[in-house]
Amino acid sequence: MARWQPETTQRLVVAAVDLFTEQGYDATTVAQIAERAGVTKSTFFRHFADKRELLVAGQETLCRLLTEGIAEAPAGAGPLDAVAAGLERASSALGPANRALGPRLKAAVAASTELQERDALKSVGLAAAMTAALVARGVPELVAQLAAELGVLAFKRGYAQWSEIDRDETTGLAEHALAALNDLRQATTALT
Binding stretches for its own copies (CB under 8 A) = 78-80, 113, 116-118, 120-121, 123-124, 140, 142-143, 145-147, 149-150, 153, 183-185, 187-192
Q: How far apart are CA 30 and CA 16, in angstroms?
A: 9
> What's the min distance (Å) between Cβ of 176 and its own copies?
15
Beta carbon nearer to its own copies, 42 or 192: 192
- What is the nearest approach in angstroms of its own copies to the Cβ of residue 147? 6
Neighbours of 186 (CB within 10 A): 9
d(CA 151, CA 130): 8
What are the two backbone dihedrals, phi and then psi, of residue 5, each rounded to the nearest 5 degrees? -125, 85
Nearer to its own copies, 36 or 106 (CB): 106
Shortest Cβ distance from residue 41 to its own copies (Å)?
Answer: 23
Supply the DSSP string of 32-66, one letter for each residue.
HHHHHHT--HHHHHHH-SSGGGGGGTTHHHHHHHH
Q: How far is the CB of 153 from its own copies (least distance, A)?
A: 7
Percentages helix, strand, coil for the chain (3-state, rounded to 5) are 75, 0, 25
Coil, strand or helix at 77: coil
Complex with its own copies: residue 66 or 150, whichever CB lies closer: 150
Which of residues 11 and 69 has its CB atom nearest to its own copies in the complex? Answer: 69
> 31 or 136: whose CB is closer to its own copies?
136
Minimum distance of its own copies from residue 40's CB (angstroms): 26
**Shortest CA distance to 140 belongs to which of 131, 128, 151?**
131
